[in-house]
Amino acid sequence: MRIGGVEVGRNRPPFVIAEMSGNHDGSFERALRIVEAAAAAGATAVKLQTYTADTMTLDSDRPGFVIEEPTSLWYGRRLYELYEQAHTPWEWHAPLIQRARELGLLCFSSPFDASAVAFLEELGLPCYKIASLENVDHPLIRTVAATGKPMIISTGASTLAEVDEAVQVARDAGCHDLVVLRCTSGYPAPPDDANLRAIPILRERYGCEVGLSDHSLGIGVAVAAVALGATVIEKHLVDDRAAGGVDAAFSMEPDELSRLVEEADRARRSLGTAEFAPAASEAGARTRRRSLYVTADLAAGTQLTVHNVRSIRPGHGLPPKYLDDLIGQRVVRDVPAGTPTDWALIGREAPP
25-73 residue pLDDT tens: 999 999 999 999 999 999 999 999 999 999 999 999 999 999 999 989 8
pLDDT at residue 330, as a whole number: 97
Q: What predicted TM-score, i.e. pTM, was given to this entire model?
A: 0.90
pLDDT at residue 351, as a whole number: 85
Give the CA distances from residue 22 to residues 55, 121, 237, 312, in Å, rounded to whole numbers and listed in that order: 16, 21, 10, 64
CA dihedral sign of residues 103, 106, 111, 117: positive
For residues 255 and 253, what is the distance between their CA atoms, to the nearest angstrom? 6
Quote the CATH superfamily of domain 11-51+87-271: Aldolase class I (3.20.20.70)
Give ranges for CATH 3.90.1210.10 in the chain: 280-346
Omega prior to 352 cis, within 30 of 0: no
For residues 290 and 204, what is the distance between their CA atoms, to the nearest angstrom? 45
pLDDT at residue 350, as a whole number: 87
In the predicted model, residues of the chain with pLDDT beneath 70 are none
The domain defined by 280-346 folds into Type Iii Antifreeze Protein Isoform Hplc 12 (3.90.1210)
DSSP, residue by residue, 106-145: EEEEEE-SHHHHHHHHTTT-S-EEE-GGGTT-HHHHHHHH
Give ranges for CATH 3.20.20.70 in the chain: 11-51+87-271
Q: Specify whether the CB–CB gap between 283 and 255 falls below 8 A.
A: no
For residues 80 and 68, what is the distance between their CA atoms, to the nearest angstrom? 14
Torsion of CA 259, 264, 266, 269, to 10 degrees: -160
* Rounded (10°) angle between helices 160-172 and 138-145: 40
pLDDT at residue 102, as a whole number: 98
